[in-house]
């Protein structure tokens, strides 16, 4: 089992990369264009222009930025609040990414490499945050030094 500190640092690093990816998609969309697909594919433009690229009028990448920022904050937060906050956010991010990937594959019929990258980062974050929550839930309880025995206890 990796040390909790290592997991927290890894989660922050992944979240920072995610903020970069989501910010790029948002900037590309706000200029009226679409993210550039590597190798000249059309998938990114097709996905960006589909009706599913926005939720309630807001680009899904904006939700991504907010999600990654919250995940970084959760990773920086010690204790069970950070552990389970990170787990909830990771589950939401992973679930919504899975839904978006389903839409790309079976509804829009196009794959955006940037969206796949983000879905991959969300999957990594779920693994890291689940490991942290399952492995270290309530760790402070056992880490607390044993109180020295008082005379009446013995």
Partner 1 sequence: MASRREQKELLRAERLARESGEQVKERRRRLVQYGSAAAFLAICAVAVLIIISQSGGGSAGSGTQDSAVIQKQLQGIPQHGTVLGDPKAKVSVIEFGDLQCPACQQFSTDTAPGLISGPVSDGDVNYEFRQYLIIGPDSKTAAEAALAAGEQNRYWNYIELFYRNQGVENSGYVTDDFLESVAKGAGVPDIEKWNKDRHDPKWDKVLAKVQTEAQTLGFSSTPSFLVEGPGGKNTASGVLSLSEIESLIKSVE
Integer Cα distance of 139 and 19 in angstroms: 30
**Of the residues 1, 27, 36, 88, which one makes contact with partner 1 according to CB under 8 A:** 88
79 binds partner 1 (CB under 8 A): no
- In angstroms, give the least distance from the CB of 96 to partner 1: 5
- In angstroms, give the least distance from the CB of 110 to partner 1: 6
**Of the residues 18, 35, 43, 64, which one makes contact with partner 1 according to CB under 8 A:** 43
Give one DSSP letter per residue of 17-86, joined into a string: HHHHHHHHHHHHHHTTS-PPPGGG-SHHHHHHHSGGGEETTEEHHHHHHHHHHHHHHHHHS-HHHHHHHH
Count of residues of this chain found to bind partner 1 when the rule CB under 8 A is applied: 40
- In angstroms, give the least distance from the CB of 114 to partner 1: 16
């Amino acid at each position: 089992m990796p040390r909790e500190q290592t997991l927290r640092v890894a989660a922050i690093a992944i979240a920072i990369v995610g903020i970069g990816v989501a910010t790029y998609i948002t900037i590309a969309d706000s200029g009226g264009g679409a993210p550039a697909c590597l190798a000249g594919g059309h998938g990114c433009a097709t996905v960006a222009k589909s009706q599913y690229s926005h939720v309630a009028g807001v680009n899904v990448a904006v939700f991504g930025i907010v999600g990654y920022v919250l995940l970084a904050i959760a990773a920086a937060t010690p204790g069970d609040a950070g552990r389970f906050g990170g787990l909830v956010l990771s589950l939401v991010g992973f679930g919504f990414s899975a839904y978006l990937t389903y839409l790309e594959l079976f509804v829009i019929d196009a794959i955006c490499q940037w969206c796949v990258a983000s879905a991959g980062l969300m999957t990594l974050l779920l693994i890291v945050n689940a490991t942290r929550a399952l492995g270290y839930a309530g760790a402070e309880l056992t880490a607390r030094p044993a109180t020295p025995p008082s005379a009446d206890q013995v």
